[in-house]
Structure 1
């Protein structure tokens, strides 16, 4: 009787370890999938921001709309990632905030601060690269 109890306990322990491994694998797969989606979102934000910035002088209202949409998309992503990766999303969103400010100023007829645009674009690119390395 005692040996069957020990055998049953050992079997239960092995089963629980197996469940834990399956659970860990599922969490890992979900995390990988989330990173993949987040990476695509960040890459698209960078690509589309470059296009919007190139249109800043010709159509500042359209550039502002595009940059605002990208910024708002990253705000949503901010709520879904945390830790260091979340910090990189925040950095990218803040860079887009600065680009929106420049687009808004251009839309109102003020000259674009080319240095501010370059700095914000560089910060956005850096945040995206860092995010990609982390995730």
Structure 2
């Protein structure tokens, strides 16, 4: 049974589910920062996924990165699996702008997170509803 790591749960807002991954929004309004987490038990590395799931993960990451770039006007996309603090496999998909708060430095640990308001979260969900396919199930 899939259980989301407590650190991811406390730092994010659930947006919904792709076929393989849960889509989370990092609760930091400084960046359009999303996280994909495969809904599988005890997976910490991409190579632990079945080949079909590796392919599906990359398809979901690629689709999300394109959506974030287009929807949020990103100049550069940062995509990473780090897992040094949270072992559960998760992929960061972050839209970066030349004028964002920490450009060109990494987003981690540079400044305190600025939480989203409920209205901002609602607006992001609405933006994503316009571009995500029927294969995506939103969490409300």
Give the TM-score normalised by structure 2.
0.29
Q: Which has the larger radius of gyration?
A: 1
Higher helix proportion (structure 1 or 2): 1
Give the TM-score normalised by structure 1.
0.30
Higher strand proportion (structure 1 or 2): 2
